[in-house]
Amino acid sequence: MNDTDLAASFAIFAAKQRRADEVTPDHILLGCLRAISRFGIATLGPWSLDLEALGVDWVRQPDGLRPKVAYSAEAVELFDRAARIAKSARESGVGVNHLLAAFATEEGGLMGELKRAHGITSASWRAAVARLGQGETNGTNSGAESKRDRAGSEARSAREYLTPEEAAEALGIHVQTMRAYIRSGRLPAFRLAGERAIRLLRSDLEKVLEPLQGEKKEE
């Protein structure tokens, strides 16, 4: 599941939780923010947007709850706009950054509220989203790590779902050790529906961490 699929899944979940008839652009914005968030905070440029303040239970995972919802016509327009933005950027796939950029001109709904509450303009939003896609440039890049590598690293560190290889890297252990944790059940893992691919929740990684008690002095 890529970040766009994740954002769409969260958007549908947000619509279901709110008992909405349709998935609207508001739900898609919430889905995008959740997809880029960490610990319930979506950081975009100078703004730290608290998902809890937006009514999102950021710990709860999509669970296939009914009722059924369909995309609204406005949501379809938003996806179309994001695809056009991706094309204009000469990028083959539609990412969360393209979806977020598609909200830049929105004045109504949740985006309008965020604009008014945080002083966000179309230009400042697009600038923040652009940095999200490319990584911050702070002039300290020694050349050992390319911008693309850093952008990929930032994107991975913001994701809630990890591959076994990424999870192993996050804990600084060998991937075979990670797979052993999964096999033994010490770490919960999920299989993508109909696929062989396995994903782990970032927040679950702490389950294999045991606090050191320190060596007890002999009495």
Partner 1 sequence: MSFFVVKRDLPGITPEALQSAGIRAKSCCAEMTGEGQPVRWVRSFYLPETAQTHCYFEAASKSAVEEANQRARIPFTQIVEVVEMTPDMV
Residues making contact with partner 1 (CB under 8 A): 1, 4-5, 8-9, 11-12, 62-64, 66, 68-73, 75-76, 79-80, 82-84, 86-87, 94, 193-194
Task: State the nearest-atom distance from the C-beta of 30 to partner 1, in Å.
Answer: 14
Stretch (H or E) spanning 140: none
Using the structure block, give the residue that is written with the tokens 């970040």.
3
Q: Closer to partner 1 at the Cβ: 33 or 69?
A: 69
Residues 6+ apart with CB under 8 A from 148: 135
Please enumerate, as own/partner, the contacts of 183-190 that have beta carbons within 8 Å and a separation of 24 or more. 189/164, 190/161
Q: Which is nearer to partner 1, 84 or 147 (CB)?
A: 84
Q: Cα–Cα distance between 16 and 24 in angstroms, integer?
A: 11
Q: Tell me the closest approach of the beta carbon of residue 35 to partner 1, in angstroms.
A: 12
Nearer to partner 1, 56 or 102 (CB): 102
Closest distance between partner 1 and the C-beta of residue 20, in Å? 13
Q: How far is the CB of 211 from partner 1 (least distance, A)?
A: 35
Angle, CA of 9, 13 and 19, to the nearest 5°? 150
- When the beta carbons of 73 and 209 are compared against partner 1, the nearer one is 73
- Helix and strand element counts for the chain (H, E): 9, 7
Q: Is the dihedral of CA 32, 38, 39, 44 positive or negative?
A: negative
Select 22 or 113, whichever has its Cβ closest to partner 1.
Answer: 22
- Minimum CB separation of residue 180 from partner 1 in Å reads 28
